[in-house]
Every structure is written in structure tokens, then in C-alpha cells.
């Protein structure tokens, strides 16, 4: 799995698929039994210090000293980052709405504020890559909107992001592609259809009966999948009226015809069924 600066890649899988473990290994906070992770050509195993400087790590449950104050946590990580100017954290705290909480102890912060603080810490060195494990879990609507917006803007800022989530609708709205894990292995990659993609539209057609040759009849419109008396056509700029006319001319009775965008959930479930 490769992630380049400027793209946001999703990581999806059933419970126990290995999403968190994969991100922990990539961040250098867990050791892999085999293999390696390269960060701009540097090994996370043998060059961990250098490789880690390019990574911003956001765990699912950010955890710091429960009695430490926000400003003390920031100062500690500025010093740990080999002399990062402390005012950098002031700017980031302000950006994430935490200035008024700088004297709060970590245990006094809400879950949303803890996530914001973790993002502040992960961005102190202005890393090129971010690893984010289930960043939306348990957030209130305001925090969810803020973090979602930040992830979407990371690509245009030239940052590479890997974000894991059980919320496939969230991944569909922010990622360029989604890597599917199953039992610790990559089982496939699902591209996210853009407006000019050849999968940017789906037409679901229900027929009274389906005869042999219907695929050849409709493949001019895109990829055709037949399931009983239902036909799904995936393509770009599909004209439902033209599809209907072609079918009627050939003597088919069209029961219903529905146009919609492809859903990541459907592609994901289909891939998981194939490997189960």
C-alpha cells in the first residue's frame, strides 16, 4: 500500500481485520513480525527516528498524563521534537479552539477536545504524512465537522493521509481510494468515483424477465451486472431514457429504472463476501 503526498487514502475492514495494527506499525509504535514500512525511502524499523519525523500519528484514543495541563503537554512535545519553538503550539491551539483550555488538565477535556489536542501534537513538526485511526468515533457534531474538514484539506496542502474508519460514508466523502483489509491482508482497493470517473453513475433496471444477450445489448452504456431480473449498469453520463428505449425496442418490459451514484458500502460488502 503506497500513499503519496496530496492524497487521502481510507482503510476499511471488518472488526479484527488489522486496521489499527497496520497503522500502529506504520507509525512505529508497534513492531511487525515481518516486512517493513518506508517513509520517503527511510525504514521505520532501522531508521525509526528519521522516518518518524515525517509522520503525524493520531491514535483512536489519544492518551496523555491525565493530570498534565494542555500547555505542559504541548511544551513537552515541542522539546521532544528537538527544539520546536513553543509559539508554534500557541498558533495550533488557537487554530483548534483550545486556547481557552490551555490550563485544563487532560482528564478535564471532552473527547472532541482530546482529539483536537492530539492533532495539535501530531502537527507540531508539520509532517508530510498523517496516520489517523478511527478519528470520528464518539465525536459531537461540531468536532466531527472540524476534523472532517481538516482531513479533506490535507490533500490540497500536500499532505498524505491514511485514515481508518468504520464509517464508509465518511471515507467516500474524503478519500481518493479505500484499501480493504481482511484478516490482516490487503484484499483489494476500491477507487472513489469522481464526477468524471467511468463509474460515476449507476443505473438499476428491473425487468419483468431477462433473456440471454441482455449484457451484450447494454454494454455500450458501461459495465453490466445481472442479478436475477435486476440489471446494474455502471458508467459515466448514462442516459436512462436511451437505456429504456433500447430495452423496449427489443421487447423487454421495464418495471423500474433508477439512477444513482455508486455506494462504497456496496462495493465493500461485495469484496468482503468474496473473501469470506
Domain 201-260 has CATH 3.30.70: yes
What is this structure's pTM?
0.74
Q: Which CATH superfamily is domain 8-191 in?
A: P-loop containing nucleotide triphosphate hydrolases (3.40.50.300)
Q: List every span in the chain annotated with CATH 3.40.50.300.
A: 8-191
Number of CB atoms found within 10 A of residue 40's CB? 13
pLDDT at 235 over 70: yes
pLDDT at 98 over 90: yes
**Which is it for the CA torsion 52, 111, 15, 268, positive or negative?**
negative
Tell me what pLDDT residue 195 has. Answer: 44
Mean pLDDT of 14-37: 91
Q: Phi and psi dihedrals of 103, rounded to 5? A: -95, 0
User: Quick one: CA torsion of 146, 129, 158, 176, rounded to 10 degrees?
Assistant: -70
Q: List every span in the chain annotated with CATH 3.30.70.
A: 201-260
pLDDT at 81 over 80: no
pLDDT tens column, 259-273: 765 567 777 877 777
Tell me what pLDDT residue 172 has. Answer: 82
186 DSSP 8-state letter: E
Amino acid at each position: 500500500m503506497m500513499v503519496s503526498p496530496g492524497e487521502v487514502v481510507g482503510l476499511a475492514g471488518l472488526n479484527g481485520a488489522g486496521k489499527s495494527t497496520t497503522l500502529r506499525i506504520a507509525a512505529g509504535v508497534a513492531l511487525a513480525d515481518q516486512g517493513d514500512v518506508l517513509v520517503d525511502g527511510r525504514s521505520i524499523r532501522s531508521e525509526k527516528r528519521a522516518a518518524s519525523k515525517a509522520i503525524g500519528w493520531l491514535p483512536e484514543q489519544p492518551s496523555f498524563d491525565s493530570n498534565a495541563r494542555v500547555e505542559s503537554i504541548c511544551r513537552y512535545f515541542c522539546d521532544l521534537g528537538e527544539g520546536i519553538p513553543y509559539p508554534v503550539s500557541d498558533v495550533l491551539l488557537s487554530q483548534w479552539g483550545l486556547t481557552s483550555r490551555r490550563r485544563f488538565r487532560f482528564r478535564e477535556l471532552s473527547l472532541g477536545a482530546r482529539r483536537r489536542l492530539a492533532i495539535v501534537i501530531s502537527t507540531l513538526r508539520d509532517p508530510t504524512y498523517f496516520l489517523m485511526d478511527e478519528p470520528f468515533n464518539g465525536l459531537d457534531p461540531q468536532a466531527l465537522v472540524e476534523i472532517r474538514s481538516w482531513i479533506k484539506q490535507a490533500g490540497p496542502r500536500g499532505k498524505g493521509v491514511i485514515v481508518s474508519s468504520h464509517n464508509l460514508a465518511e471515507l467516500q466523502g474524503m478519500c481518493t481510494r479505500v484499501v480493504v483489509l481482511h484478516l490482516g491482508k490487503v484484499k483489494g482497493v476500491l477507487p472513489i468515483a469522481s464526477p468524471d470517473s467511468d463509474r460515476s453513475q449507476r443505473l438499476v433496471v428491473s425487468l419483468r424477465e431477462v433473456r440471454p444477450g441482455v449484457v451484450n445489448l447494454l454494454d455500450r452504456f458501461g459495465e453490466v451486472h445481472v442479478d436475477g431480473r435486476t440489471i446494474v449498469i455502471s458508467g459515466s453520463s448514462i442516459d436512462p431514457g436511451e437505456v429504456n428505449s433500447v430495452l423496449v425496442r427489443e421487447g423487454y418490459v421495464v418495471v423500474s429504472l433508477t439512477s444513482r451514484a455508486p455506494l462504497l458500502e456496496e462495493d465493500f460488502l461485495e469484496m468482503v463476501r468474496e473473501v469470506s
